[in-house]
């Protein structure tokens, strides 16, 4: 079956033909194919709904219900505030900031951190015109609970306790979790969080409800996501885009390229990087069965700004990085034109007559070429601005690549066993808050 794709995936600069001996070959990739056989079976189970997974969200998520709820929110409130952290906010925020309307019916603000100097903004919220979405799969996350519990008295004061439930929706899974218990006691509606880890949950109510309220074409996102799911079910490692790119990144990591630099040449794609960083870091940073510490470190370089900050390191620093460019080819046709007026000045001559967009894409091409000439691996994922379909494809591609790399590394991409210790310590330190004084 032919798949419509609006996401362009250019991996040529990962290969020997383009970057020389430090590159890889199709034969190297093909040699990994048998190691993905178990995953091939797993993928079939996921797409045929035998097991709940991020891969069947594009076909199982109840879009009709999400839209109904979103329309109700948009017609009753001027603003929506989302409390949630990690996978409970990054996906929704990516969709809203990347694809949302500039002037949505209902503006959406996300609060994940508990920096008190930022949260002071909440003091000026008019709760009579505001909907609060509190999202936490476990329902026990300290940051999200604290945010909610500290605004609750303000809401009660402004609205009266009995009207608070009309202004709050909770998304959670764990019926024993504190959030569920609070919702029960305060008579707040609970929407069920799917049985999928936060960082893989963007294509469920977790990401799609805030996105819809923020004006995102969620049908388009899901259509693109379904197309990429189909592409990722192909058995042939050279034809399956996630197998191919995942295997290529794994091979480079075995050559010591363990830093994954994502370099968006589009300001609004920076939120894709925020989401991706969590996905890649929390899924791959693990100890494998032999006790080896595994993982690839995601970092961001922002095109073009970081050409004047990090590019020197990417070009001549340690050869331990693989760069993924996120680009928007349509920028070539955007932006104002530099006038011809000062073209006699040598530094202005090459700019004169060109648009800002032309400069932008030329700089991307130049960065890519200079990296390749030095044998530094890089690839380009291109999508047009505000193309919901292409972003849906990109989301599934990046999720599936993560799973492929994890499979090749022999680790579980869906857990995060080590972070619990810091959560336990946080509670302990709160119990003896003065012990923190000397440390901070
Ligand atoms: O991806 C994950 O599982 C985590 O990053 C969680 O999303 C994050 O810790 C928040 O957890 P919760 O949704 O339970 O509040």
DSSP annotation of 193 reads: P
Q: Answer whether 174's CB lies under 8 Å from 152's CB.
A: no
What's the whole-number average pLDDT of the chain?
95
Rounded (10°) angle between helices 270-284 and 388-409: 20
Ligand 1: residue whose CA is nearest its atom 15: 136
106: confidence class by pLDDT, cuts 50, 70, 90 = confident
Which pLDDT score, from 0 to 100, does residue 4 have? 85
Calculate mean pLDDT across residues 66-78. 96
If DSSP states are collapsed to H, E and C, what string results for 240-298? CHHHHHHHHHHHHHHCCCCEEEEEEECHHHHHHHHHHHHHHHHHHCCECCCCCECCCEE
Output the pLDDT for position 167: 98
Residues sharing a CB contact under 8 Å with residue 122, sequence separation 6 or more, in sequence order: 81, 111, 147, 151, 154
* pLDDT for the residue 422: 87
Q: Is the pLDDT of residue 128 over 90?
A: yes
Q: What percent of the chain has pLDDT over 70?
A: 99
Q: Which of 358-362, 384-388, 405-409 has the lowest mean pLDDT?
A: 384-388
pTM of the model: 0.97
Which residue has a Cα nearest atom 12 of ligand 1?
Answer: 136
Q: Which residues are catalytic?
A: 282, 308, 423
The dihedral built from the CA positions of residue 76, 81, 87 and 92, taken in this order, carries a sign that is positive
Mean pLDDT for the stretch of residues 229-234: 96
User: Which residues sit with their C-beta closer than 6 Å to ligand 1?
Assistant: 85-88, 136-138, 141, 144, 197-199, 282, 416
Mean pLDDT, range 406-425, rounded to an integer: 92
Closest atom of ligand 1 relative to the 193 alpha carbon: 13
The pLDDT value given to residue 104: 75
3-class DSSP state of 78: coil
Residue 382: pLDDT band with limits 50, 70, 90: very high
Q: What is the pLDDT of residues 129-160, one digit of tens each?
A: 999 999 999 999 999 999 999 999 999 999 99
CA nearest ligand 1 atom 8, residue:
86
CATH of domain 8-40+221-409: 3.40.50.10490
Mean pLDDT computed over 307-314? 97
- Confidence at 256, pLDDT banded by 50, 70, 90: very high
**Domain regions of the chain by residue span:** 8-40+221-409, 62-216
Greater confidence (33 vs 431) lies with: 33
Mean pLDDT lowest for which of 99-108, 130-139, 149-158, 385-394? 99-108
Which secondary structure element, helix H or strand E, spans residue 111, and what is its range?
Answer: strand 107-111
* Dist CA 286 CA 149 (whole Å): 33
Q: What is the pLDDT of residue 381?
A: 98
What CATH architecture applies to the domain 62-216?
3-Layer(aba) Sandwich (3.40)
Is-same-fold flag (8-40+221-409; 62-216)? yes
């Amino acid at each position: 079956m032919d798949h419509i794709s609006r996401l362009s995936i250019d991996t040529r600069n990962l290969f020997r033909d383009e970057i020389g001996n430090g590159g890889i070959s199709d034969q190297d990739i093909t040699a990994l194919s048998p190691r993905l056989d178990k995953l091939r079976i797993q993928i079939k189970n996921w797409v045929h709904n035998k097991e709940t997974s991020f891969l069947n969200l594009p076909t199982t998520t109840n879009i009709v219900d999400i839209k109904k709820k979103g329309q109700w929110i948009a017609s009753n409130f001027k603003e929506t505030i989302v409390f949630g952290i990690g996978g409970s906010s990054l996906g929704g925020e990516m969709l809203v900031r990347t694809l949302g309307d500039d002037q949505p019916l209902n503006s959406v603000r996300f609060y994940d951190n508990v920096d008190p100097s930022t949260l002071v903004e909440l003091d000026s919220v008019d709760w009579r015109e505001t909907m609060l979405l509190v999202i936490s799969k476990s329902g026990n996350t300290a940051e999200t609970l604290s945010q909610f519990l500290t605004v609750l008295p303000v809401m009660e004061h402004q609205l009266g306790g009995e009207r608070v439930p009309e202004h709050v929706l909770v998304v959670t899974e764990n019926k024993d979790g504190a959030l569920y218990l609070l919702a029960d006691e305060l008579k707040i509606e609970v929407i069920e969080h799917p049985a999928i880890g936060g960082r893989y949950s963007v294509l469920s109510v977790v990401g799609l409800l805030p996105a819809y309220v923020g004006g995102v074409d969620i049908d388009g996102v899901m259509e693109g996501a379904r197309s990429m799911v189909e592409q990722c079910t192909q058995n042939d490692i050279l034809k399956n885009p996630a197998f191919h790119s995942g295997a290529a990144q794994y091979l480079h990591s075995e050559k010591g390229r363990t830093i994954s630099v994502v370099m968006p040449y589009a300001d609004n794609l920076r939120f894709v990087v925020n989401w991706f960083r969590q996905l890649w870091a929390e899924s791959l940073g693990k100890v494998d069965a032999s006790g080896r510490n595994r993982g690839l470190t995601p970092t961001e370089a922002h095109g073009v700004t970081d050409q004047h900050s990090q590019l020197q390191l990417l070009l001549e620093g340690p050869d331990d990085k693989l760069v993924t460019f996120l680009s928007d080819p349509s920028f070539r046709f955007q932006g104002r034109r530099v006038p011809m007026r000062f073209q006699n000045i040598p530094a202005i001559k090459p700019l004169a007559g060109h648009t800002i967009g032309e400069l932008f894409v030329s700089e991307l091409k130049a960065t890519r070429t200079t990296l390749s000439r030095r044998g530094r691996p890089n690839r380009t994922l291109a999508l047009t601005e505000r193309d919901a379909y292409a972003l849906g494809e990109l989301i599934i591609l990046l999720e599936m690549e993560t799973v492929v790399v994890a499979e090749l590394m022999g680790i579980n991409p869906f857990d995060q066993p080590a972070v619990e210790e810091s959560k336990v310590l946080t509670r302990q330190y709160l119990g003896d808050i003065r012990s923190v004084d000397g440390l901070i």
